[in-house]
């Protein structure tokens, strides 16, 4: 087993158990390419495939990370979502592809093209980091682990949008059990400008020879912070002004 596979095996097992203090020194990725390879090897160890992507910046570096396909859910749901005890929620603005894009088409794709290929969406990400966000860890450790979430819930809205729309999102409100948990007034996205992040993601697809499946999601980073979900469970209502509202209930755990 090589270092990429060994690191991925640790991260895959950690998703069903206790968090790691960090990857062992001899397994730590030291390049973006190695961190991305660990992401894909972790998905393979979990017997998952890519269902979407999250993008962002970490210490100034653009990064992307896959969302496991089986954990990408669509509102409305038939019942409560079951999650582990240690869990957090983030409300995000996302895009969802309404058509497929072939690997050949990705080769000439630019961020401005996305407005004609994808719809805006409201998204809840359910987060359970397996590596701490501080301490003796490197940015590449955290990027290798960035796909380590417990999935996402999405609801798309058919409204026109531009790159300016996602750089300057409207008012965002997240309620927990009917009480306002987080509210963000309209203004610049913390990760703006998002065009370079989307370009970095597209470049990764090119390197990996990937297309984009119809229904794939790209989520653009938290607009609500990352509040914890109570062990007793809770109901959530999320609204981004002008888009379809998003609702879900997270079941309690003992």
For every residue of 43-97, DSSP letters joined together read HHHTT--EEEEEEEEETTEEEEEEEEGGGEEESSPSSPBP--SS-EEEEEEEEEE
The pLDDT of residue 173 is above 70: yes
Question: What is the mean pLDDT of the segment spanning 58-67?
Answer: 92
Check residue 19 and give its pLDDT. 76
Name which residue leads in pLDDT, 139 or 125: 125
Check residue 12 and give its pLDDT. 87
Poorest-confidence range of 15-19, 61-65, 151-155, 222-226? 15-19
The pLDDT of residue 130 is above 80: no
179-198: per-residue pLDDT in tens? 999 999 999 999 999 999 99
Give the CA diameter of the chain: 50
Check residue 145 and give its pLDDT. 87
Question: What is the mean pLDDT of the segment spanning 62-90?
Answer: 92
Can you say whether residue 209 is alpha, beta or left, with left for phi > 0 and alpha for psi between -120 and 50 degrees?
A: left
Q: What is the rounded distance in angstroms from the CA atom of residue 127 to the CA atom of residue 148? A: 8
For the whole model, what pTM was predicted?
0.93
Q: How confident is the model at residue 149 (pLDDT cuts 50, 70, 90)?
A: low
Q: What's the whole-number average pLDDT of the chain?
A: 92
92-105: per-residue pLDDT in tens? 999 999 999 999 99
Check residue 179 and give its pLDDT. 98
Phi, psi (rounded to 5 degrees) for 183: -140, 130
28-48: per-residue pLDDT in tens? 999 999 999 999 999 999 999
Which pair of tokens denotes residue 199? 């370009």
């Amino acid at each position: 087993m090589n270092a990429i596979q060994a690191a991925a095996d640790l991260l895959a097992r950690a998703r069903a158990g206790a968090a790691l203090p960090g990857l062992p020194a001899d397994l730590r990725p030291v390049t973006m390419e190695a961190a991305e390879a660990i992401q894909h090897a972790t998905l393979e160890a979990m017997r998952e495939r890519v269902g979407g992507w999250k993008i962002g910046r970490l210490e100034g570096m653009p990064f992307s990370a896959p969302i496991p396909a089986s954990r990408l859910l669509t509102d409305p749901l038939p019942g409560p979502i079951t999650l582990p005890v240690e869990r957090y929620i983030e409300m995000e603005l996302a895009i969802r592809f309404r058509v497929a894009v072939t690997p050949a088409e990705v080769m000439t794709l630019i961020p401005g093209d996305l407005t004609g290929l994808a719809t805006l969406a409201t998204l809840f990400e359910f987060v359970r980091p397996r590596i701490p966000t501080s301490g003796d860890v490197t940015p590449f450790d955290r990027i290798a682990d960035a796909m380590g979430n417990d999935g996402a819930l999405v609801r798309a809205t058919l409204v026109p949008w531009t790159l300016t729309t996602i750089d300057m999102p409207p008012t965002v409100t997240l309620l927990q059990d009917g009480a306002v948990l987080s509210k963000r007034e309209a203004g610049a996205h913390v990760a703006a400008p998002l065009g370079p992040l989307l370009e970095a993601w597209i470049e990764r697809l090119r390197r990996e020879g990937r297309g984009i499946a119809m229904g794939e999601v790209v989520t653009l980073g938290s607009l609500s912070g990352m509040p914890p979900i109570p062990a007793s469970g809770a109901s959530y209502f999320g609204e981004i002004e002008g888009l379809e509202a998003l609702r879900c209930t997270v079941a309690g755990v003992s």
